[in-house]
Amino acid sequence: MSAATFERGYNALKEQIDAPIASFFSSCVRCGICAEACLFFTETGDPKYTPIYKLEPLRKVWEQEYTLLGKFKALFGLAQKLTDAELAEWKELIYNGCTLCGRCSMVCPVGNDLVYMIRRAREGMVAAGHAPEGLINASKRAVTTGSPMGIKLPALQAQIKHVEKDTGLKIPVDEVGVEYMVLLSSMEIINFPEYLEAIAKIMQQAGKTWTIASAAFEATNSGIQIGAADIARELVSRVVTAAEKLQVKTVISPECGHAYTAIRWEGPNLIGRPFTFKVQHILEVLDEFRQQGKLKTSGFDSNRLTFHDPCQLVRRGGVVEQPRHLLKMIASNFVEMSDHGKMNWCCGGGGGHSAIEEAHELRTQVFQRKKTQLEELKVEKLVTACANCRIVMEEGFEAYEMPMPIVGLTEMLAKHLATSNESN
Amino acid sequence: MSKYPTIGESLRHQGISRRDFLKFCTAVASILALPAAMIPKIAEALESTPRQSAIWLSFQECTGCTESLTRSHAPTLEGLIFDLISLDYHHTLQAAAGTAAESAREAAMQGNKGNYLVIVDGSIPLGNPGYSTIAGISNVDMLKEVVAGAKAVVAVGTCAAYGGIPHAAPNPTGAVSVDSLITDKPIINIPGCPPIPLVIAGVVAHFVTFGQLPNLDSLKRPHSFFGQTIHDRCYRRPFYDKGLFAETFDDEGAKQGWCLYKLGCKGPVTYNACATTKWNDGVSFPIESGHGCLGCSEPNFWDAGGFYKPLSVPINGVIKATTGYALAAGAAVGAASGALNRLKRSQARQNHETVTITDLERNQK
Ligand code: SF4
Ligand code: SF4
Ligand code: SF4
Ligand code: SF4
């Protein structure tokens, strides 16, 4: 039977070092600016959470395997080879101490894409057997059951029945040749069925055809979070096969930010060819409906509320303006957080972090960042567009006893959908 | 002992808290490219260091360099610099004028003999001394007099560093750079027309914190900011590598963001940090706004054969034959080690065993 070994991990790190990574390491000027961008550093004050420091094992491999200086150093015994113990030690930094939020990549004065590197470093950790148990189990479930939370088709079918009963609308499954194929995240299926309900209503109002694929309804990709391209590829291929079989024009990524990154940006690279369909985030689709005059709302929410930008949407995905346009249709007292948009602070639980049991305490600690942002604003309500952010922030609110409702933007819009003769 | 208050004292005097002081030290550390762990050490050093006396001399210039510095952004660099130094004379910025201004300069020179920093912008005319004078003193006389008691000289901007625009052919005033007149003091050049404010701040902060100038290259520029060309760091570089060039400023290629090489971009021979630090609070830099680099931080940039002429047309005096050989040799070494590294990576790829869910853990022994 195969198993993870240090040698496999070392080889994987060697494999990951491409031209961008080599040039990033050689151009780092050690300014430490990335530290200030990372919530793990700002909230703990511990310099070991400086993003570039989290990459020390990968840097060592680069220096020793690919640079002249590194080879000299090794020759004269000036440099120590990377050891398994070091990898074990860095597990805490690479997984528990990073949510792949990408804020550090935004500030590096020499343009180093740090989060790209951390994502790559995880490949080595996985192959060496140093991935956290929570993520390993999620990946196993994703591959065997189709969902990281172990949700199988019958569970979805049961939810579909509920939603159909509540709304009187039919939820199309496996329809061929429709415009949109809608993906869901397990969190949405189990914790927030309102999402599916919202989609059904909005699609109905907009007069669009859509479907869910029974062979690939789950969008979250544990392979990306744990850092195993092989597993990520397997999961992405399922979606691609289903979408191509159903001949849909567009696949809609659910609110979940990492799901979007996985299918939209990493997807085609993983399978090594362009998709035959388009991929859009649900908010991009909704904003298009709005522009086409196909999204009509009525009434305004007058609570003082703000929007939490999911990291993967704003920083990796460029979905910044869409939620604002949409919110303005239905909220009369919308205020922006400090650092909103592409510099927004992470909820503290992205990148698979929320699946890491032993990182719970640290997650609560770094949530203080969001807490501070929200306290400055004195809002009554928080809107976001990622089921994972939502759960993480709900837990944070609980820990700090901050009673504040959080809603998903899609479902909030659905609540304000106009019936045929009224609209804003 | 200096008559100046220490930096710590002077910040406290302005009502700056300990926490803000540490933030200030963090800003200093970051422009000096030091790790976060150094911050307490910097704090300790700055707490007891007196503010550095500095005399700023402006000669044949357009005030763009001073503008560049005072228009800079967060963490307000000019604020930061002015907290680190005591700017005892700067005729554009100071309130005093005429005799009062000149006596401030003399007082600073006497009071800090051997210890003050001279910052110069503008070139010095050697033609008729009357071409540029301050308080009736010619630029060359004032430079020599002030530098005599200085600890080091910072030549800010291309005019002070290499002569700049006044030096352009036919150089009617006989303009020269600072380092062609001063040979007995440490000099650092921060070229650029104008120079990047962060670089000025970084150099001054380095000098105050460590009492000496940072590492310099052969043109006396700080390595940390002038180590690479604009081209090395240009985000349009992938197009250059693919041979995709805009041919005019409004063709399809220009709209697609292709490389501006054929439109005269001097990025490949220009050492500066614009492509990474950018301008106006990191908003963009010329190439990002659709115009090639002019090469403003290089010697003779004004005479380098036309801003819109592509580089492959040889430029007299800028690229010498030796650079060509060095480039060729460098490229060969680079190519060889690049090939080895590629081999290594492809071997690593061959050794890749597909990761499945059965091998996420170690074997239990
Ligand atoms: S990606 Fe986010 S969490 Fe990870 S190191 Fe960068 S700033 Fe920190
Ligand atoms: S911000 Fe960039 S240059 Fe600075 S330490 Fe981090 S990776 Fe290095
Ligand atoms: S635009 Fe200029 S600096 Fe950028 S790649 Fe082209 S030639 Fe190089
Ligand atoms: S891009 Fe070139 S011309 Fe422009 S400021 Fe920088 S060095 Fe000077």
Q: For the ranges A116-130, B176-190, B285-299, B308-322, which has the lowest average pLDDT?
A: B308-322
Is any atom of ligand 3 closer than 6 Å to the C-beta of B124?
Answer: no
Q: Is B22 on the interface with A (CB under 8 A)?
A: no
Give dist(CA A59, CA B285) in Å, integer: 30
Domain check: are B193 and B267 in the same one?
no
Same domain, B69 and B193: yes
For chain A, the three-class secondary structure string (H helix, E strand, C coil) is CCCCCHHHHHHHHHHHCCHHHHHHHHHCCCCCHHHHHCHHHHHHCCHHHCHHHHCHHHHHHHHHHHCHHHHHHHHCCCCCCCCHHHHHHHHHHHHHCCCCCCHHHHHCCCCCCHHHHHHHHHHHHHHCCCCCHHHHHHHHHHHHHCCCCCCCHHHHHHHHHHHHHHHCCCCCECCCCCCEEECECHHHHHCCCHHHHHHHHHHHHHCCCEEECCCCCECCCHHHHHCCHHHHHHHHHHHHHHHHHCCCCEEEECCCHHHHHHHHHHHHHHHCCCCCCEEEEHHHHHHHHHHCCCCCECCCECCCEEEECCHHHHHHCCCCHHHHHHHHHHECCEECCCCCHHHCCCCCCCCCHHHCHHHHHHHHHHCHHHHHHHHHHCCCEEEECCHHHHHHHHHHHHHCCCCCCEEEHHHHHHHCECCCCCCC
B357 and A65 in contact by Cβ < 8 A?
no
In this structure, the residue with its CA closest to atom 8 of ligand 4 is: B296
Contacts of B355 in chain A (CB under 8 A): 126-127, 228-231
Please tell me whether residues B152 and B275 are part of one structural domain.
no
CATH number at residue B272: 4.10.480.10
Same domain, B165 and B304: no
pTM of the model: 0.61
Instruction: Give yes or no: residues B32 and B139 share one domain.
Output: no
Top mutation candidate among B229, B230, B289 for ligand 4, by most atoms within 8 Å of CB: B230
Please report which confidence band the pLDDT of residue B316 belongs to, taking 50, 70 and 90 as the band edges.
very low
Of residues A288, A323, A327, the one with CA closest to residue A309:
A323
Chain A hits for B37, CB-CB cut-off 8 Å, are 47
Residue B205 and residue B86 share a domain: yes
Q: Which residues of A touch B361 (CB under 8 A)?
A: 3-4, 129, 136
Question: Cβ of B363 and A1 within 8 Å?
Answer: yes
Binding residues of B: 62, 65, 159, 193, 231, 234, 259, 265, 274, 293, 296
pLDDT of residue B15 exceeding 50: yes
B34/A contact by beta carbon, under 8 A: yes
Nearest CA to ligand 1 atom 6: A104
3-state secondary structure at position B296: coil
Q: Is residue B238 part of a domain?
A: yes
**Residue B315 banded pLDDT, cuts 50, 70, 90:** very low
**Residue B361, in any domain of the structure:** no
What pLDDT is attached to residue A422? 57
In chain A, which among 9-28 make CB contacts under 8 A with chain B? Answer: 11-12, 14-15, 17-18, 22, 27
| Residue B259 Cβ < 6 Å to ligand 3 | yes
Q: Are B242 and B297 found together in one domain?
A: yes
Q: Give the domain-ending residue among B189, B222, B255.
A: B222
Domain's final residue, options B175, B206, B222: B222
Q: What is the pLDDT of residues A10-62, one digit of tens each?
A: 999 999 998 889 889 988 888 888 999 999 999 999 999 999 999 999 999 99
Q: How many of the other CB atoms lie within 10 Å of CB of B333?
A: 10
Calculate how far, in angstroms, residue A61's C-alpha sits from the geometric centre of ligand 1.
21
Domain with B204 in it: 51-222
Q: Is residue B355 part of a domain?
A: no
Measured between CA atoms, the residue of chain B closest to residue A41 is B36
Binding residues of B for [4Fe-4S] cluster: 62, 65, 159, 193, 231, 234, 259, 265
Whether B296 shows a pLDDT value over 60: the answer reads yes
Compute the distance between CA of residue A140 and CA of residue A147 in angstroms, rounded to an integer: 9
Q: Is residue B357 part of a domain?
A: no
The finding on whether B311 has its CB within 6 A of some atom of ligand 3 is no
Which tokens hold the place of A260?
């979007």
Residue bearing the bigger pLDDT, B325 or A246: A246
Q: How confident is the model at residue B101 (pLDDT cuts 50, 70, 90)?
A: confident
pLDDT band at B356 (very low <50, low <70, confident <90, very high): confident
Centroid of ligand 3 to alpha carbon of A112 (angstroms): 19
Q: Is residue B177 domain-shared with residue B281, that is, in the same domain?
A: no
pLDDT confidence tier of residue B314, bands split at 50, 70 and 90: very low
ipTM of the prediction = 0.74
Same domain as B252, residue B186: no
Q: Does residue B333 belong to any structural domain of this protein?
A: no
In a domain, B320, yes or no: no
**Are residues B154 and B29 both part of a single domain?**
no
- Write the DSSP string, B101-122: HHHHHHHHHHHTTTTEEEEEES
Contact B285 CB / ligand 4 (< 6 Å): yes
Using the Cα atoms of residue B152, residue B156, residue B159 and residue B163 in order, give the sign of their dihedral.
positive
- Average pLDDT, whole number, for chain B? 83
CATH code of residue B140: 3.40.50.700
CA distance A269 to chain B (A): 16
Rounded distance between C-alpha atoms, residue B229 and residue B251, angstroms: 26
- A131 contacts B360? CB cut-off 8 A: yes
CB contact under 8 A, B359 and A139: no
Residue to substitute from A5, A7, A11, interface B, most B β-carbons within 10 A: A11
Q: How far apart are CA B54 and CA B62, in angstroms?
A: 21
B175 lies in the same domain as B299:
no
Strands A381-384 and A334-335: unpaired
Residue B118 lies in a domain: yes
Question: Does residue B261 line the site of ligand 3, with CB under 6 A?
Answer: yes
Which domains occur in chain A, in start order?
A: 6-131 (1.10.1060), 135-291 (3.40.50.1860), 296-416 (3.40.50)
A11:B277 CB<8 A = no
What does DSSP assign to residue B221? -
Among B233, B265, B276, the mutation site with the greatest number of ligand 3 atoms within 8 A of its Cβ is: B265
How many domains, chain B? 3
pLDDT at A392 over 50: yes
Q: How many CB pairs under 8 A join A and B?
A: 100
From B205, B222, B239, give the residue that closes a domain.
B222
Are B360 and A12 in contact (CB < 8 Å)? no
- In this structure, the answer to whether residues B216 and B259 fall within a common structural domain is no
Query: What is the rounded average pLDDT of the residues A261-274?
Result: 93
Tell whether B241 is within 8 A of chain A (Cβ).
no
pLDDT: is B280 or B63 the higher one?
B63
